[in-house]
Structure 1
Amino acid sequence: MVGSALVRKLEGEGFSNLVLRTSKELDLTDQRAVATFFENEKPEYVFLAAAKVGGIVANNTFRADFLYENLMIQNNVIHQSYLHGVKKLLFLASSCIYPKMSPQPIKEEYLLSGKLEPTNEPYAIAKIAGVKMCENYNLQYGCNFISVMPTNLYGPNDNYDLNTSHVLPALLRKFHEVKIDHERTGHSKPVELWGTGEPRREFLHVDDLAEACYHLMQTYDGNISLNIGTGNDLSIKELSGIIRKIVGFKGEVIWNRDKPDGTPRKLLDVSRINSLGWSYSIELEEGITRVYKDHFLK
């Protein structure tokens, strides 16, 4: 999702010499393969968006995989970028690297100030390592490697698998499928959603993230990681109401309180990136409507 958004942005800005590989073409966990790629292609600028990602179920189920694969991807790409003299690298971390009970909104300096959310601790630890790699390659070797912490993302090419997806695409799929089933059978089933609906989340359209990354790649050379988000959040219950309206679902919603909520609140302080000349442009309801039409109604 993020990689394709970055490609759209770069192509829209007139860049044509893009060096791209799918995960099937290049295994970034393979040290030798990554070294060969850098030796052959000699990229000047690197956007490191590749990662093993998933929602609360995937993170908690495949804990070792999330830790190992993300560490390997980061270690290989960041180190080879140093060895081959990459002019600038942007590493995409995640807002989940902050402590579970972090003060709100979350400032960049709150990193490593408390315990992580247990369900996604392995993924968060891997991403923290990536942030610290960029920071320390800058300090030791004089590299220009920057890192960013995006909030929860959605948009084209999202993952809609109910076992591995994040909350927004999962809600879209659940409401849509129950609505279609009702239209086909005439039987109205309730939509079951996890937890209490009380946790609050912030959501950013991936095209806004691509705009932010492009802006920072051109203008920012600091060694402080930057939050990227909207600065606004809402409860999962409120989000479900927006999605319910967009989908046109008129049936019952049941909240399964036996399922985990995750972190109570995760709102990023975006004052630093705003001060650098970037702010989001796609409002949440507009963005979700666009995604729903493009993915489910075509």
Structure 2
Amino acid sequence: MSAKIIDGKQIAADIREELTTEVAALKEKGIVPGLGVVLVGADPASQSYVTAKERACEKIGIYSDDNRLPAETSQEDLLALVNQMNNDPKINGILVQLPLPKHIDEAAVLLAIDPDKDVDGFHPMNVGKMMVGEEAFLPCTPNGILQMLMRSGVETSGAHVVVVGRSNIVGKPVANMLLQKKEGANATVTLCHTRTKDLSFHTRQADIIIAASGWPNTVTADMVKEGVVVIDVGVNRVEDASRERGYRLVGDVDFEAVKEKASMITPVPGGVGPMTITMLLYNTVVSAKRANGID
């Protein structure tokens, strides 16, 4: 029997509807959540992503301060803009789209963002707070994964979760978040990666697999047990002559084969992807509430 599909689009839509109501209530109190967005250069993927974020802000009523800068922008000028947004009370969240041009030190830019406006959850202060279980802005994709699990009724407490991938953006933070003593976590976590010996030994033990390796078919049907829950974070282009654009998008999991053994699985596209922007909006609303003393 095929797995139940975890519909990231629908879960994201549900959360955005909740946020729309919350933003409307804040506006009645004279509070308009604001997101400052910075894009340096003209990378097509980054442009598309930033445009999607801007549209999402508009739809739920968040003020978006959009700054699109030429690729030759100096690090000094970028840091000055970040500092300006740090001191702007209309801006509750700051998003500097990565990657940045090679002449700009990404770490220096992320460090310059006020941790109280770090809605991406990348500032070392927020990463440290997350690690020790203190209140902090959580990185958007990992937090979106936890929301998907909770809202799909997946029990994580006591479950064995195998995370495949050790990036600072997904693998490491989602592993840490699932270890925390809180609702929607309390899992036993094994963190694997592409250099792990006998990866299938670990994945076959998993109650939940989170695949974030960045390689197609990292997880195949022979690597999973019956009834496993699979969250596929990967987005990979593979050649496909039958498609007009010459390629199709696939995840890190062999979806067609694995869905016949899994109890639940996320598709690509339409799974984790829609949750990332949604959790950015969520963090921006939380920041606006904190700035105005609202729990």
Quick check: TM above 0.5? no
User: Which structure shows the bigger proportion of residues in helix conformation?
Assistant: 1
Q: TM-score range by the shorter chain?
A: 0.3 to 0.5
